Amino acid sequence: MSSAAFTETVAKAGVDWHSDEMKARRKRRYAADRRLQIYGIVAISFALGFLAILIGSLTFSGHKAFTQTVATIEIDLSGAKVDPNNIKDADWRGIVRGALRAQMPGLSRREERKFFEMFTSSGQFLVRDAVLADPSRLNGVSRFAIPMADPIDQLAKGEISRDTPENQRRVNDQQIAMFDQLVEKGVISTPFNWGLFFNADSRFPELAGLAGAISGSFWSLLVCFIISFPIGIAAAIYLEEFAPKNKLTDLIEVNINNLAAVPSVVFGLLGLAVFLGWLGLPRSAPLVGGLVLALMTLPTLIIVTRVSLKSVPSSIREAALGVGASKHEMIFHHVLPLAIPAVMTGSIISLARALGETAPLLLIGMNAFITSPPDGVFAASTALPTQIYIWADSPERGFVARTSAAILVLLAFLVLMNGIAIYLRQRFERRW
Amino acid sequence: MNIMSEATVEKALDQKMSDANFKMVGKDVSVYYGEKRALFDVNLNVRKNTVTALIGPSGCGKSTFLRTLNRMNDTIEGCRVTGKITLDHSDVYDPSVDVVELRARVGMVFQKPNPFPKSIYENIAYGPRIHGLARNRDDLDAIVESSLKKAGLWNEVKDRLHEPGTGLSGGQQQRLCIARAIAVSPEVILMDEPCSALDPIATAKVEELIHELRANFTIVIVTHSMQQAARVSQRTAMFHLGNLVEENDTDKMFTNPDDQRTQDYIMGRFG
Amino acid sequence: MSGYLIAALALAALMMTFVGCARARATQNGAAEKTHSRPIYHGLNAAIWTGVPAFIFLLLWLGGQNSVINQLVIASFPGAENLDPSARSLILSEIRQVAAGNIFKEPTPEIQAAVAHLKSLQQISTVAMVAVVAATMAIGAFLGYRVIGNRYRARHSVERSVTYFMMFSSFVAIVTTLGIVASLVFEALQFFAKVPVTEFLFGLRWEPQIAIRADQVAGQGAFGVLPVMFGTFVISLISMIVAVPTGILSAIYLTEYADRRFRAAVKPLLEILAGVPTVVYGFFAVLTVAPAVRSLGLGLGIPSSPNSALAAGAVMGVMIIPFISSLSDDALAAVPRAMREGSFALGATKGETIRKVLLPAALPGIVGGVLLALSRAVGETMIVVMAAGLIARMTLNPFDAVTTVTVQIVTLLIGDSEFDNPKTLAAFALGLILFLVTLMLNLIALRTVRKYREKY
């Protein structure tokens, strides 16, 4: 060490840390530190604020769709001309109109048309189906709930303001007056909208429901689960426990990681070209939707399963092999059962992701307009997210609230599934 | 304040030394990690321009004590320090104390060399830059050069100042870290087993460096190796189970310690 | 029908498990020599023999029967040999529609005859399938049953089958990729036969709607992908501008400043943002964000359209925040503690340590995360389908509407899936580009992240 360096040191030593300059400098440095912290808080608040606004606005616009304005009307069917043996073909339109006319007698033809417009145009079918379900209603007076048409529903819920000029709203003054009369007579009520869950899709918002979409999603997820769960676990076991380390397995590994990040719409293209185009499977079917979703979730499932297999300690493997178990027995009797809670958690979370997936289902036609729930995996159907897309695209005002409500239902399912996954994780997951 | 601390220091003295020679004074220092107590009322003084070695079996609290001196324990969640530590008579744990200033004055070198993933030059320049010790580029160049020279690394790296510091050998990396600490012109340098990750040749170089640095800095070194303590230090403190067992001149400590436990440890009966 | 068949197969296999098990036990009872496999393996082996070959047969039949039947039906259709493939497929789809009961107009006698032919073929096919599958099952069951004996190594046989199944499963991923590449390339090649590749790659006009008119020749420059790519770029850029700083700053706060309780509460909340389905974001963008952005733009005196790039990009950005945040979080947490301590020991503040030591050290990991996020933004579909525009425009005005690759794919394919017009095929060409771009981003990102992991 040269002594020249040391003389320099002495000159340099002794910084006056308490000089005003140094103090001011430290103050600036601390301020910069605080600024960074504030930026962080601002960033988090932005993200969480957005989440709050998202949920808040959806709840705000969606909660109204959980009730439906209906008119409860008494119809005396004993006098009506209905053939008990052919209920279906009776003049239900005339019967319902007659009953409605009785509520508001003495209207001119024009006024009457406006009055009928206030009720759902499918009221006749609702009454018919109710009677078909319970023919004893033919024998006397019974009450039927007839949903109000969308504009009146909006009026009742305050979405249409009475203060807007008449030519700018979809209900005219006369209809408002008639509606108020009905309210006074106690005919109008707004019960819980069970139709939202038990009706299939409809062009009329007041009748549109999610039954088709929910069962479509159910069938799709079922197919997705049946295919991706065993294949995912088998592939993970093979890659983690059996596969030799060579170029091929490396390729598979890179491939799986990449596949997990391929945009979902590309899987839709795959489904369209291969399942619909080449294999000729039916369009819009939950079977195809499930297949596409299965291919999409498979990479994630394999990755999750491999991680949980890896976390089972080698002592357990050695113990099993030590008592003479074959490699297969070691894995299927000891390792897999220990890993299965984590695998279940992972697959439920993957299924939840698949439930929210929209784009690939659009491409294979699960955005069709279908008015009855599918009865299996081959029937044309929609799914919850595609139903949301369809409704979001519909011009009727009532569909805005329905869309939000459908989103809330979808989110409820997601929360439920993730909740189960979290419960499973906390209840069964072992830490080694 | 001044009178108070002088009185405290006076009390802490059990040797006939003028307190002016004490750079840092620890009085009744205890450290808790959550519920667990790691250090029990340690009284230890660090003398100016002296190398003080802290020895003892692993887990005895010597590193913990070292880290209280520049408040590195603050970065550990749930760590609490009681008692009093002064640097030039002012309390290190006083709320008005600025840790940034404290750590600039009390530098530290760690067990494993930890150069930043930057160039050699940037590693050294980092401290002076954040503290504003250089007015211009030439100043900074001068600080980097003199620090590297002081750390005895200049000749080895002067042609590759802008290559990454992580590319150096282990011993060079550790000397780089020492140079990095020196660049801020600290008054005290704490070293936490600085040679434990180095090979014997690199260790010898670092020890030589410590020896030379004593002229300008006060050094506290935690070491696992008795021989190293004997070679580099003038004062030695022996810790055991969170207690300070004995503090003495290094020569006396290794020939004729006052405490039986020290003797046992040095003779290799435990540890 | 096939559903019942599968159930029957499963039932038969289950039954054979018990039968095989019982027989193995019976033969082993009196055996003098040591038996190789436990009875359950003999049972499982018999079940595999019973179920698996028949099941594979069933799948192959189901996969193949449609195209075979189609061939037969169209071959018997009068005058079909003179028709080009697209007319043939039109006729076929009409026949199938009528057969399915979706009758829109009274079908012609030829069609009706073809429908009858189709139905009879389908019936024959079903009967034949049941017969073949049942026969395979019976033969399998017989063989599986006969083979049971003391010396037979049933366990090896079962384990071998399981291993084959596992190998097959791990090839599914490869097959999927091959399927994606094959379908995209195949359809895209057909597209390029109608529209030259150079037109597609370098054309500056994208007006696919024009080209579907019969009197218009495709490939008049209406399929230039550049404006679509440009729109994708603009929206992804906007989303990155929103997501990258927000994500990194929140990760910094959560890893370095926040206490444990805050972190434990906020991290899952941020993750919710990533779990919300994209269609929900799309609806929110249309309903709430787009009008707000538009009035902002008009207020600033900038020409604004109802569907702005800004609205779609910003909402997409929010969706990506947790993605960037958690990857940056991982990257920051992976920087060794020694770096932090080294910096603190020199008297650096936390902020200085983060900005000058941790961020540079974590940079490769963060960059990898940002690239992955970018690939997500490029491939994200629903938000842009709902909130971005349809018309391809080269504009940098964020208040104007632009279109993206994914929007075009979806709009070109919704409702219309004949595989012969350039409009449909163009979607596959776009899909190919999308796949290649995201693949490249993913490969670079995964490599960067892996290199970074190896470093520490």
Report yes or no: B152 at the A interface, CB cutoff 8 Å. yes
C-alpha closest to that of A291 among A267, A263, A262: A267
Residues from chain A that touch C67, judged by Cβ atoms under 8 A, are 280
Residues 198 through 257 of chain A touching chain C, CB cutoff 8 Å: 230-232, 234-235, 237-239, 242-243, 251-252, 254-257
Q: What contacts A293, CB < 8 A, 6 or more positions away?
A: A220, A221, A223, A224, A228, A354, A357, A360, A361
**pLDDT per residue as tens digits for the range B223-270:** 988 889 999 999 999 998 889 988 989 988 888 888 888 888 887 766
User: How many CA atoms within 13 Å lie on the side-chain side of A218?
Assistant: 10
Q: Evaluate whether the domain defined by A211-428 bears CATH number 3.40.1160.10.
A: no
Report yes or no: B179 at the C interface, CB cutoff 8 Å. no
> In this model, does residue A300 exceed pLDDT 90?
yes
Q: What is the pLDDT of residue B255?
A: 87
User: Which structural domains are found in chain B, ordered by start?
Assistant: 2-266 (3.40.50.300)
Q: Do A47 and C246 touch (CB under 8 A)?
A: yes
Q: Which of B208 and C195 is assigned the larger pLDDT?
A: B208
Residues from chain A that touch C349, judged by Cβ atoms under 8 A, are 29-30, 32-33
Residue of chain B minimizing CA distance to C364: B117
The H or E element spanning position C179 is: helix C154-194
Most C CBs within 10 A among B116, B180, B182, B192, hence the mutation to make, goes to B116
Beta bridge partners of B52: B220, B235
Residues from chain C that touch A367, judged by Cβ atoms under 8 A, are 414
Nearest Cβ partner for C345 among B70, B115, B118: B70
Domain ranges of chain A: 16-64, 68-191, 211-428
**pLDDT per residue as tens digits for the range C295-317:** 998 988 888 888 889 999 999 99
C-alpha radius of gyration, chain C, whole number:
31
Residues from chain A that touch C96, judged by Cβ atoms under 8 A, are none
How close A56 gets to chain C, by Cα (Å)?
11
Q: Do B75 and C344 touch (CB under 8 A)?
A: yes
What value does the mean pLDDT take over residues C242-251? Answer: 96
CA distances from A21 to A16, A26, B92 (A): 9, 9, 22
Report yes or no: B221 at the C interface, CB cutoff 8 Å. no
Six-digit token pair at A423? 């419960």
Residues from chain A that touch C277, judged by Cβ atoms under 8 A, are 355-358, 385, 410, 414
Nearest Cβ partner for A235 among C170, C406, C410: C170
User: Using 50, 70 and 90 to split pLDDT, how confident is the model at C391?
Assistant: confident
Residue of chain B minimizing CA distance to A17: B101
Q: Are A266 and C180 in contact (CB under 8 A)?
A: yes
**pLDDT per residue as tens digits for the range B38-93:** 899 999 999 999 999 999 888 888 999 999 999 988 878 788 899 999 998 889 99
Q: Do A230 and C169 touch (CB under 8 A)?
A: yes
Q: Are C225 and C201 in contact (CB under 8 A)?
A: yes
Six-digit token pair at B29? 């220092």
Q: Which of A82 and A13 is assigned the larger pLDDT?
A: A82
- Neighbouring chains of A at 3+ CB pairs within 8 Å? B, C
Torsion region of B188: left, alpha or beta (phi above 0 gives left; psi -120 to 50 gives alpha): beta
> In this model, does residue A7 exceed pLDDT 50?
no
pLDDT-wise least confident of A357-361, B108-112, C305-309: C305-309
Six-digit token pair at A234? 């088998």
Q: What is the pLDDT of residue A264?
A: 93
What value does the mean pLDDT take over residues C423-443? Answer: 91
Chain center to CA of C291: 32
Q: In what order do the strands lie in the sheet with A70-76?
A: A141-147, A70-76, A188-189
Q: Do A231 and C172 touch (CB under 8 A)?
A: yes
CATH code given to domain C226-455: 1.10.3720.10
How close C317 gets to chain A, by Cα (Å)?
10
pTM equals 0.85
How close B257 gets to chain C, by Cα (Å)?
34
Domain ranges of chain C: 2-152, 226-455
How close A28 gets to chain B, by Cα (Å)?
11
How close B104 gets to chain C, by Cα (Å)?
5
Residue of chain A minimizing CA distance to B217: A13
User: Using 50, 70 and 90 to split pLDDT, how confident is the model at B14?
Assistant: very low
Six-digit token pair at B115? 């150069």
Most B CBs within 10 A among C257, C260, C346, C352, hence the mutation to make, goes to C346
Q: Are C337 and C255 in contact (CB under 8 A)?
A: no
